[in-house]
Amino acid sequence: MDLYEAIHSRRDVRRFRNEPIPDDVLERILSAAHHAPSVGFSQPWRFLLIRSEETRREVHRLFDEANRQAREAYSGERQELYDSLKLEGILEAPLNLCVLSDHRSSSPVLGAQSMPETIALSTCLAIQNLWLAARAEGVGVGWVSILDPASLRRLLALPDGVELVAYLCVGYPESFLEWPLLETVGWRHRLPLRDVIFEERFGSQPADVSSDEDAPPPRSQG
Ligand SMILES: Cc1cc2nc3c(=O)[nH]c(=O)nc-3n(C[C@H](O)[C@H](O)[C@H](O)COP(=O)(O)O)c2cc1C
């Protein structure tokens, strides 16, 4: 698959088929993640593979709790729409991946002293490599952030100095949606490209950026 095709057809996947990922496929995906750039070549990413149904059930319980709280931020029709959304595939996905950043380096990380957040940002780049490589392999990835981090840390026995960055569901998808789900249901739309590009000073837009290439998807009722 061509890189641009992988970028544009990558989706956050929440519906999975019950089919294991072969070891060689998983190794290629993790190897792609491991070849991401990192500040000072620190390679801070760590991948905790979770296959146990018991652990996934515990994580799913944490999701239910956090989701009950999250829905309270909305009301009326917006809350109804929120409730209709499937926002995780923790139990359906045969593999869950907790992605971590290890900050326990004994020496200062080259390049990270003035911007320590670049360590976690490097781990995010590994996640994006993983997400794109998975897409090229026909494997779906869904990011679940509706989880209480302290409870998840306790459940997974994360030591001090190891930062929780992401919780991912990984597996073969029922399908790759053509459009982001949140766009299709009318939750949010993709911003025009020209709205996110400035020139020389924040807020001043260049004259020559075309408006975006994507036609909006048909709206569904969710
Ligand atoms: C940091 C991060 C956290 C996310 N958390 C969730 C989540 O908890 N549940 C969910 O359904 N999607 C989650 N997503 C997926 C986004 O909703 C999705 O990327 C966005 O709507 C665009 O859709 P697409 O990835 O299919 O293009 C998350 C994505 C990112 C990058």
SS3 of residue 55 by DSSP: helix
Cα of 222 vs centre of ligand 1, distance in Å, is 16
**pLDDT tops 60 at residue 216:** no
Q: What's at 192, amino acid-wise?
A: P
**pLDDT tops 60 at residue 221:** no
User: CATH homologous superfamily of domain 3-177?
Assistant: NADH Oxidase (3.40.109.10)
Q: Which atom of ligand 1 is nearest to the CA of 188?
A: 21
> What are the beta bridge partners of residue 143?
168
Determine the pLDDT at residue 106.
82
**Residue percentage of the chain with pLDDT more than 70:** 95
State whether the beta carbon of 170 lies less than 6 angstroms from ligand 1. no
Largest CA distance in the chain: 55
**pLDDT tops 80 at residue 217:** no
State whether the beta carbon of 135 lies less than 6 angstroms from ligand 1. no
Cα separation, 171 vs 70, whole angstroms: 26
**pLDDT tops 60 at residue 123:** yes
Cα separation, 169 vs 49, whole angstroms: 10
Delimit the domains of the chain by residue range: 3-177, 189-217
Burial class (CB in 10 A: 0-12, 13-18, 19+), 184: middle
Token pair listed for 87 = 């926002």
Pairwise pLDDT comparison (144 vs 213), residue with the higher score: 144
- Distance, C-alpha 91 to centroid of its chain: 17
CB of 169 closer than 8 Å to CB of 16? yes
Token pair listed for 207 = 């004259």
Q: Which atom of ligand 1 is nearest to the CA of 13?
A: 26
Cα of 145 vs centre of ligand 1, distance in Å, is 8
